[in-house]
Amino acid sequence: MMRFGGMALALWALAAAMPAAAQEPSKADKAKEAPVPAPLVSVTRHSGTFGGQAIRYVATTGETYLKDKDGEPTAAIFSTAYVKEGPRDPNRPVTFLFNGGPGSGSLWLHMGAFGPKRVVVPSDARDDGAPPYPIVDNAHSLLDVTDLVFIDPVGTGFSKALGKTEPKSFWGVTADAKSVAQFIRIWLRENGRWNAPKFIGGESYGTTRSAAVVNELESTFNDVSLNGVLLISTILDFGAQAEVPGNEMAYVVNMPSMAAAAWYHHALAERPAAIEPFLAEARAFAIGDYASALLKGSRLLADERAAVRARLSRFTGLSEAYLERADLRVVPGRFYKELLRDRGLTIGRLDTRYTGQDYDSAGEEPDNDPSFYGIDGAYTAAMNAYVRDTLGLRMEREYVTIGGLSSPWDWDIGRGDLTYYRNVAPYLGKALRENSGLRIFVGQGYYDMATPFFGAEYSLTRTGIPTDRITYAYYDAGHMMYVRDADLAKLSRDIRAFIRAR
């Protein structure tokens, strides 16, 4: 036994001394050890008419490298910047924009709302169909009032981690915000814009990111002060909107959006002529009698329950029998399936104007979201064609439209008061209190149930958030309100006025 043990030890020592080449490294290891190539960038020059003004501009699309304290590249951030040509105007703003997810590239705001080109999809909530999709000049781009920089965070678009850096090290509320803030600082330095008026903005989770980025930019002594934050389809308070047993606020903030959808689809027993007064009533009922009834729980008296049930049916278009079976609490997924069940249709989540047909009319929730599959093909095709062909970027990687990062995402904000109740709105409250020149624009679609308008209003009217510098605007569409032509024009006018009013 002793002799065998000694021989085994000798063999082990011999194996340990053998060249490492005997153990072939994986492709991933080889990629991490390979030298990092130079950033890929394309610069082109263009002209267009935006907001009624003829503008010549430079488009710079490609990679910017983030680096660690030792100067080693950690990530390639893909962005597209549009900068007006001519002598530099120190008063000309620059606006940094991104989308949400987390895991979504910035193609939606880029190719749908504010870039110099846009893809045209049906304005009346119909499916986008098959290619080719029209890519046209976007007269509603904001280039007449601001330079624009569209940012794709790590894991989205063409952005990726570099070298030995793990992608997941960027996937979290704070880590993601730090990387975007680092990119903004690099861009300001490299483009000589440190003293320019500055705006940041996002859509959906991009509004969450905006609040977290504001915190990274303005909460140190090395501040990047901002003039404005653009929140489009806002989600800040994840605690209030969490669909978990015992959280009654989720039903409260969703109810007015259900009323909007029922109104749009003529699913109400008595449909008012105008939506705005109807939604004012819905808001008052939601935060008043409805919230009170939910908070009473099993102590709710029978006559009060009956009165609330009848009014809830009036606002949502759902039968009292269904509402009773649901205990007055209807989660959005059930609502999408139930509202038009008698017509054999479901409605969208991102935009409840859209309708879809499931495999059958049974079941609790839709097979898919018709308001997403109704537009995704057009935007994906347009972004790839435009960046590769018009802007001349020779990129071999696939553009990640939706990366699905919400599963590995680190939602911990890292503060004792926010760790369990995930709410980034206090970041905006602090920024408003400490930066007297900061203003916030909030744009919400009435038919958006992914980020309901009443949820945005609720989160931004909490204690500690000054309300005198917050501007609200509403649109007759959903999450991507700009897919509706009239609302694209209105959104452009509203934000242009917001920027000019600084």
* 177-235 per-position pLDDT tens digit: 999 999 999 999 999 999 999 999 999 999 999 999 999 999 888 899 999 999 999 99
| Other CB atoms within 10 A of residue 25 CB | 12
Q: Region 421-437: what's the mean pLDDT?
A: 95
Residue 2 confidence (pLDDT) above 70: no
- Tally the C-alpha atoms within 13 A of residue 90's C-alpha that lie toward its C-beta: 2
pLDDT tens profile 357-370: 999 999 999 999 99
Establish if 454 belongs to a structural domain.
yes
Residue 36, pLDDT score? 82
Domain total of the chain: 2
Query: Tokens 């000309």 identify what position?
Result: 92
Q: State the Cα–Cα distance between residues 190 and 174, nearest whole angstrom.
A: 24
Q: Are residues 362 and 478 in the same domain?
A: no
Residue 15, pLDDT score? 37
Q: State the Cα–Cα distance between residues 291 and 308, nearest whole angstrom.
A: 10
Q: Are residues 367 and 411 in the same domain?
A: no
DSSP 8-state code for residue 402: B
Q: Are residues 362 and 397 in the same domain?
A: no
Contacts of 247 (CB under 8 A, 6+ apart): 239, 240
The CATH number for 380's domain is: 3.40.50.1820
Q: State the Cα–Cα distance between residues 429 and 232, nearest whole angstrom.
A: 17
Q: Are residues 365 and 383 in the same domain?
A: no
3-state secondary structure 93-160: CEEEEECCCCCECCHHHHHHHHCCEEECCCCCCCCCCCCCCCEEECCCCCCCCCEEEEEECCCCECCE
Q: Are residues 347 and 309 in the same domain?
A: yes
Domain end residue (candidates: 352, 371, 390): 371
Residue 403, pLDDT score? 78
Establish if 16 belongs to a structural domain.
no
Query: Tokens 């940012």 identify what position?
Result: 151
Establish if 244 belongs to a structural domain.
no
Q: Are residues 347 and 396 in the same domain?
A: no
Q: Are residues 92 and 122 in the same domain?
A: yes
Establish if 81 belongs to a structural domain.
yes
Residue 299 confidence (pLDDT) above 60: yes
Query: The pTM is what?
Result: 0.91
Q: Are residues 394 and 365 in the same domain?
A: no
Domain end residue (candidates: 371, 395, 416): 371
Residue 19 confidence (pLDDT) above 50: no
Residue 184's domain comprises 41-239+376-500
Residue 1 confidence (pLDDT) above 50: no
Q: Are residues 347 and 399 in the same domain?
A: no
Domain end residue (candidates: 371, 402, 421): 371
Establish if 19 belongs to a structural domain.
no
Establish if 150 belongs to a structural domain.
yes
Q: State the Cα–Cα distance between residues 79 and 395, nearest whole angstrom.
A: 13
Establish if 305 belongs to a structural domain.
yes
Q: Are residues 80 and 133 in the same domain?
A: yes
Q: Are residues 232 and 205 in the same domain?
A: yes
Q: Are residues 210 and 160 in the same domain?
A: yes
Establish if 13 belongs to a structural domain.
no
Can you read off the two tokens belonging to residue 123? 């304005």
